[in-house]
Amino acid sequence: MNLETIVNLELHPIQDSSYIQKCKDQLDSKGALVMENFLNSDTVEYLQNEAREVRPLAYFCHQNHNAYLLDPDPDFPAEHIRNLEQVSDKGCITHDQVPENSLLRTIYEWPDFRMFLKQVLGELVFPYADTLSSININYYEQGQQLGWHFDNASFAVTLMLQSPGHGGEFEYREKVRNSEKGDSAFADTEAVIKGKLKPKTLAMGDGALVLFRGRNSLHRVAPVVSDQARILVTLNFNTEPGIMLSELARMAFFGRLA
């Protein structure tokens, strides 16, 4: 399979050092990089069909969590922003359920793509050592959402396969906290979640590749309103080899460990 026919290398010359630098500058200054039409339209159509075919295998989870993705802190009341519960519910197809010959695997394993990520992120990228976590297809169906949170991981790499008709926007506010300095930023976190500080919306069309730094940016996927699901692939990497996703996270998101 020729990668030139899968991704739009004319628009996104990911092997070109000046293009790589431009992407890095954008990610470093904005905390997010949206590469619209990264996938060619035939690839989008192929992957949408594939995602619809495997949809019956998806595990749908429903979780309550706080914005910090930590166990509740008993020093604060339940309604304090430290502990205030957010709701997340979505379906997920795991790496082992992605068809063997899927173009998602081709892209994920493509050495030039890995090299591009490594240079733009300034971090090493390795696949997960467990069988479930490297490539995930996520379905947000009518009424489903991802609650406000800060990521544990320092970066996320996603491919938008099908944007929802209504709702399902990716909303965020950059640099709310400084986790490296142990700053939880309760006041601003509460202001965003309670609607007093307005978030931005990150627009992403079908076929967009998105790089996002979510550790200090508060973000969510708003509830999907239309009956057209939001289908988004997460391409998951570690900065070290041999790492598995925690058992707690695998049970929560996939309903099984292997």
Ligand X SMILES: O=C(O)CCC(=O)C(=O)O
Q: Which residues bind ligand X (CB under 6 A)?
A: 146, 151, 156, 158, 170, 214, 219, 221, 232, 234
Least spacing, CB of residue 156 vs Fe ion, in Å: 6
Least spacing, CB of residue 1 vs ligand X, in Å: 26
DSSP 167: B
Distance, in Å, from the CA atom of 20 to the CA atom of 116, rounded to the nearest integer, reads: 7
Least spacing, CB of residue 257 vs Fe ion, in Å: 22
Amino acid (one-letter) located at 26: Q
Is 146 or 185 the residue whose CB approaches ligand X more closely?
Answer: 146
Q: Considering CB distances under 5 to 8 angstroms, the limit depending on partner class, which of Fe ion, ligand X, none binds residue 95?
A: none
Is 158 or 184 the residue whose CB approaches ligand X more closely?
Answer: 158
Tokens (6 digits) for 55: 């949809």
105 Cβ contact partners less than 8 Å away, ≥ 6 residues apart: 98, 135
Q: Which of residues 141-200 bind Fe ion (CB under 5 A)?
A: 151
Is 19 or 215 the residue whose CB approaches ligand X more closely?
Answer: 215
Distance, in Å, from the CA atom of 148 to the CA atom of 222, rounded to the nearest integer, reads: 9
Distance, in Å, from the CA atom of 94 to the CA atom of 134, rounded to the nearest integer, reads: 8
93 Cβ contact partners less than 8 Å away, ≥ 6 residues apart: 51, 54, 55, 57, 58, 136, 137, 138, 139
The contact pattern for Fe ion, residues 10-39, with x = CB under 5 A and - = no contact, is ------------------------------
Is 12 or 65 the residue whose CB approaches Fe ion more closely?
Answer: 65
Tally the C-alpha atoms within 13 A of residue 130's C-alpha that lie toward its C-beta: 17
Closest CA to 88 of 32, 138, 136: 138
Least spacing, CB of residue 17 vs ligand X, in Å: 28
Q: Considering CB distances under 5 to 8 angstroms, the limit depending on partner class, which of Fe ion, ligand X, none binds residue 170?
A: ligand X
> Taking phi first (over 0 means left), then psi (-120 to 50 degrees means alpha), and beta for anything else, what does residue 91 get?
beta
Least spacing, CB of residue 138 vs ligand X, in Å: 6
Least spacing, CB of residue 212 vs ligand X, in Å: 7
Tell me which of 214, 220, 233, 236 binds Fe ion, using CB under 5 A.
214
Q: Considering CB distances under 5 to 8 angstroms, the limit depending on partner class, which of ligand X, Fe ion, none binds residue 232?
A: ligand X
Distance, in Å, from the CA atom of 16 to the CA atom of 75, rounded to the nearest integer, reads: 52
Distance, in Å, from the CA atom of 171 to the CA atom of 200, rounded to the nearest integer, reads: 6
Is 173 or 219 the residue whose CB approaches ligand X more closely?
Answer: 219
Tokens (6 digits) for 138: 């996520």
Site size for Fe ion, by CB under 5 A? Answer: 2
Is 76 or 226 the residue whose CB approaches ligand X more closely?
Answer: 226
Is 91 or 214 the residue whose CB approaches Fe ion more closely?
Answer: 214
Residues that bind Fe ion (CB under 5 A): 151, 214
